[in-house]
Amino acid sequence: EAGVVQSPRYKIIEKKQPVAFWCNPISGHNTLYWYLQNLGQGPELLIRYENEEAVDDSQLPKDRFSAERLKGVDSTLKIQPAELGDSAVYLCASSLGGGQGVDEQFFGPGTRLTVL
């Protein structure tokens, strides 16, 4: 079974440019998460989707960040315009979801963004 897939793995852009990250969760996983991981820190949640609905986007900087999961499967996270401080690893994770219990989150390999 394929794990969570993310692309690209690495991205280098100049500040003020737009950038987009793509994530394909594990097949059948209803819940999808985007996390930000700064160097030497733990992941921090940006947004969580239940199917196509963004149920928690309280940590997403909405002035420059946006996300979508139109068909409830794969998802795109966008930054426009990028700033120097956005350099980090962007992790996508998925879990079965759909119920009231807690289930394991599986992480993708991440996209390492460098903003020059």
Applying CB under 8 A, the residues found at the interface with other proteins are 3-4, 31, 40-45, 48, 55-56, 91, 95, 102, 104-110
Answer whether 84's CB lies under 8 Å from 67's CB: no
Minimal distance, residue 114 CB to other proteins, in Å:
14
Give CA–CA dist 70/83, Å, rounded: 26
Residue closer to other proteins by CB (options 79, 108) is 108
Using an 8 Å Cβ cutoff, are 96 and 33 in contact? no
Give yes or no for a contact between 70 and 76, defined as CB atoms under 8 angstroms apart.
Answer: no
Nearest distance from residue 82's CB to other proteins, in Å? 22
Provide the minimum distance between the beta carbon of 17 and other proteins in the complex, in angstroms, as a whole number.
Answer: 24
Bridge partners of 76, per DSSP, are 22, 68
**Least Å distance between CB 22 and other proteins?**
16
Task: Indicate the residue among 5 and 81 with the shorter CB distance to other proteins.
Answer: 5
Helix spans in 22-100 (H): none
- Of 3 and 18, CB closest to other proteins: 3
Cis peptide before 81 (omega within 30 of 0): yes
Instruction: State which residue, 85 or 99, has the beta carbon closest to other proteins.
Output: 99
